[in-house]
């Protein structure tokens, strides 16, 4: 069975389906994760700074465990592990490329979910 591109079931569960909470989490995710992925990609492609790669990958694991983009958690967890062992740059590049493809494909869906859950301002 194929893994869905985007799985928000855990977010639904922890939020109790509270749309304001979902909106805030998705907003924070969209404010931080794209830039963090960009930085991780750059670190992997352009440096041998395994410590920075490991820290960045490790920080992305928590975000990718709540908002599940296909294979993102497994890929950043593996990059984290490889960076800890100071090895596997080629595998890191391959996993990063796959992560970016899936993330960019999921991005419009994440934005749509955020919009769908945006709190309605009440008129006073």
Q: What is the pLDDT of residue 1?
A: 57
pLDDT at 123 over 80: no
Digit-coded pLDDT (tens) for 22-58: 999 999 999 999 999 999 999 999 999 999 999 999 9
Digit-coded pLDDT (tens) for 61-88: 999 999 999 999 999 999 999 999 999 9
How many whole angstroms separate alpha carbon 114 and alpha carbon 69?
A: 15
Q: What is the pLDDT of residue 121?
A: 78
For 17, other C-beta atoms within 10 Å of its C-beta total 11
For residue 22, the surrounding DSSP H or E stretch is helix 19-46
Handedness of CA 50, 53, 56, 60 (dihedral sign): negative
pTM beyond 0.85: the answer is yes
């Amino acid at each position: 069975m194929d893994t869905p591109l985007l799985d928000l079931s855990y977010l639904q569960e922890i939020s109790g389906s509270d749309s304001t909470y979902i909106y805030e989490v998705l907003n924070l995710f969209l404010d931080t994760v794209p830039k963090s992925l960009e930085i991780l990609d750059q670190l992997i492609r352009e440096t041998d700074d395994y410590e920075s790669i490991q820290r960045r990958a490790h920080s992305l694991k928590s975000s990718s465990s709540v908002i599940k983009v296909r294979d993102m958690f497994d890929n950043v967890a593996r990059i984290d592990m490889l960076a800890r062992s100071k090895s596997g740059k080629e595998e890191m590049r391959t996993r990063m490329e796959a992560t970016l493809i899936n993330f960019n494909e999921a991005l419009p869906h994440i934005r749509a979910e955020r919009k769908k859950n945006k709190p309605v301002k009440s008129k006073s």
